[in-house]
Amino acid sequence: MNYNVEVKTSLKKGMLNPEASTIEKALALLNYEVKDTKTINIIQFTLDAENEEAALAQVDEMCQKLLCNPVIHDYEINISGE
């Protein structure tokens, strides 16, 4: 069965995030007051697996090996069947 997968990755709390800092500074220059800015990367793809549990296991392995660095990133997996 085909599954639509969405993986959201972000830096763990306490990690330096220069991209988010730059966004906050730029918005401040435009007179917008924002705090605790966070950047998130979203990866979407379709995966063929026997069932949702197998799909989740495969995607978790992908995250651990390639899609993020578990030492510095948090990740969230969303799966839906086609």
- Could you read off the pLDDT of 8-59 as tens digits, one per residue? 999 999 999 999 999 999 999 999 999 989 999 999 999 999 999 999 999 9
The domains of the chain are located at 2-81
Long-range contacts at 42-47 (CB < 8 A, ≥ 24 apart): 42/6, 42/7, 42/8, 43/6, 43/7, 43/9, 43/67, 44/4, 44/5, 44/6, 44/7, 45/5, 46/2, 46/3, 46/4, 46/5, 46/82, 47/2, 47/3, 47/5
**pTM for this structure?**
0.86
Can you name the CATH fold of 2-81?
Mth169; Chain: A , (3.30.1280)
